[in-house]
A and B are shown apart, each in its own frame.
Chain A
Amino acid sequence: AQRVTQPEKLLSVFKGAPVELKCNYSYSGSPELFWYVQYSRQRLQLLLRHISRESIKGFTADLNKGETSFHLKKPFAQEEDSAMYYCALSNQAGTALIFGKGTTLSVSS
Chain B
Amino acid sequence: NAGVMQNPRHLVRRRGQEARLRCSPMKGHSHVYWYRQLPEEGLKFMVYLQKENIIDESGMPKERFSAEFPKEGPSILRIQQVVRGDSAAYFCASSLGQKNTGELFFGEGSRLTVL
Binding site for B on A (CB under 8 A): 4, 32, 34, 43-46, 49, 86, 88, 90-91, 93-102
**A32 in contact with B42 (CB, 8 Å):** no
19 A-B pairs with CB atoms under 8 Å apart are A4-B42, A34-B102, A43-B4, A43-B107, A44-B43, A45-B106, A46-B104, A49-B102, A49-B103, A88-B102, A91-B45, A94-B99, A95-B55, A95-B101, A96-B33, A96-B45, A99-B35, A99-B43, A101-B40
Assembled-state Cα–Cα distance A33/B35 (Å) = 18
**B102 in contact with A32 (CB, 8 Å):** yes
**A95 in contact with B106 (CB, 8 Å):** no
Q: What sequence of 0s and 1s flags, for each residue 24-61 of chain B, a beta carbon within 8 Å of any chain A beta carbon? A: 00000000010100001111110010000001101100
Assembled-state Cα–Cα distance A95/B102 (Å) = 9
Assembled-state Cα–Cα distance A86/B56 (Å) = 22
Assembled-state Cα–Cα distance A43/B2 (Å) = 12
* Chain A residues positioned under 8 Å from B42 (CB to CB): 4, 86, 99-102
* Chain A residues positioned under 8 Å from B98 (CB to CB): 94-95
* Chain B residues positioned under 8 Å from A45 (CB to CB): 105-106
Q: Contacts A43-B3, A86-B43; is A96 near B107 (CB within 8 Å)?
A: no
* Chain A residues positioned under 8 Å from B4 (CB to CB): 43
**A43 in contact with B56 (CB, 8 Å):** no
Using a CB-CB cutoff of 8 Å, which residues 65-115 of chain B contact chain A?
Answer: 91, 98-99, 101-108
* Chain A residues positioned under 8 Å from B44 (CB to CB): 99
Assembled-state Cα–Cα distance A94/B43 (Å) = 17
